[in-house]
Chain A
């Protein structure tokens, strides 16, 4: 690899860390001495998790970090003073295929700043993929980021080449978007491409579906707004995944959002996707945000104490999923095992992967209670829940549902 390409990879790989395809970027760590192994320097390789739990390494890189937009949340915005670099399509394709051949990476995640205009940059990104697919006969995984305001033709070509496509919505509604990216039109530049990609997915292209990403806290939006739009995207636009990225200050005077908020949003997102929770099952605080203190599933269970304790040998699959400490896999195991064998011991549940400490107050085994909620939660935490509410109690209708 030439020095020039290496330098470009360092800059453009590092600039891509704000785009999420799975795990968030980590800060650089200084070794204590010379006897260390491994480096988490943001040089462009990102670990992404497939739906079956496998972790794959992707070359996460920008085509260019030059951008004509001035979005307040973005490190690559035009008003930010930083070194700008661009890859040539052939250069990037060659770099990737050499890394792939050596098994450093197992796929590519290609994003970009907007150079000149969206169509020009997208054309270069698509050209890179064409070189990979047709010149190098690359048959592996490609995640293509779609730029706002891209044309229909270029999205269609991208859909023919990529396994997954995504466009970052950044904000849950147009009003919030105006505050951080005034030049973008929410419906035309963002929702329209989502519709186009959805159509391509329906037509059998983009096999791994589409995803999107929100910047949490950049425009002062609440968790309620984010979760409503998320739920709408899953139900109406059939997105595979919505990512949340806690806002990281990119200039002085901006406030950092706690990472725990991002974590709670992911927990709520998983409850909706894998635990059969509806939007109105999620319990919010008065300020329309999720509790940072206690996880959303525990909040639900405490708030709905009337539903528990549930008899483990009789409870429906849906009820099992709502018990804290019981995940979808454990719920399936209980459901399956009890068809042939009556569960009588706490140790059996432990073997099946249930987190006993959390589940105990909410279950009965063979009619016997296993614990008390006061053993896992303080009186103060319990008192907090009395004032909690649900997103549907939020009177202002989001634009998408009207």
Chain B
């Protein structure tokens, strides 16, 4: 996924980050840990450059005070972190509801266009691939084009 690349310039991958989490004192809360991982995944797709700082801060806080402290948004940073994750989820959801698809190429391709702020193109394409498995999905997000076919996503 594209968010794997986001961490590369910090010499850290998304998987490195979530594997570090397992060493924390709160790992007994397995359900909380899964939610935290998923929130990190979404927060990293936010368009603002300070997403890395925010994620770093909440991981530090989670180590000190526990995952619940973050998931329950007790601190201002935790609130911001969850808000970032939420904004990404909202955009993905809005796109899946508001993109209008146009059947082209004798109804074998469904094409749609939408403006996105965050890096949600891949997630949106996946959604439509699941819904219309017998079609090729072509989605245009500004200058980026995503094409989903046979469980593969191509990006230009």
Contact = CB atoms under 8 A, between A and B. Distances in A.
Interface in B19-36: 26, 32
Interface in B124-141: 128, 131-132
B101 A351 contact: no
A337 B103 contact: no
Given A54-B93, A56-B97, A340 B66 contact: yes
Interface in B55-71: 65-66, 68-69, 71
B95 to A, nearest CB: 10
B97 A352 contact: no
Interface string A199-241: 0000000000000000000000000000000000000000000
Interface string A324-355: 00000000011011011101000010011100
B99 interface: yes
B155 interface: no
Secondary structure at the A interface, as helix, strand, loop or mixed, is mixed
B72 A336 contact: yes
B48 interface: no
B32 to A, nearest CB: 8
A102 B101 contact: yes
B12 interface: no
B14 to A, nearest CB: 25
Contact of B68 (A55, A339, A348): A339
A352 B72 contact: yes
Interface in A138-166: 140
A274 interface: no
A393 B117 CA distance: 56
B132 A353 contact: no
Interface residues of A, number: 22
Given A102-B102, A341-B65, A334 B93 contact: no
Given A336-B72, A340-B26, A351 B79 contact: yes
A337 B101 contact: no
A372 B66 CA distance: 34
B73 A353 contact: yes
Interface string A79-123: 000000000000000000000011110100000000000000000
A99 to B, nearest CB: 10
Contacts of A340: 26, 65-66, 68-69
A118 to B, nearest CB: 34
B78 A351 contact: yes
A334 B93 CA distance: 28
Contacts of A57: 97
Contacts of B72: 333-334, 336-337, 352
Nearest to B77: A351
Contacts of A56: 97
A348 B32 CA distance: 20
A351 B82 CA distance: 11
B1 interface: no
A61 to B, nearest CB: 19
A76 to B, nearest CB: 30
Contacts of B79: 351
Contacts of B132: 101
30 contacts: A54-B93, A56-B97, A101-B103, A101-B107, A103-B96, A103-B99, A103-B112, A103-B128, A104-B100, A333-B71, A333-B72, A333-B73, A336-B32, A336-B72, A337-B68, A337-B69, A337-B74, A339-B68, A340-B68, A341-B65, A341-B66, A348-B75, A351-B73, A351-B74, A351-B75, A351-B76, A351-B79, A352-B72, A352-B73, A352-B74
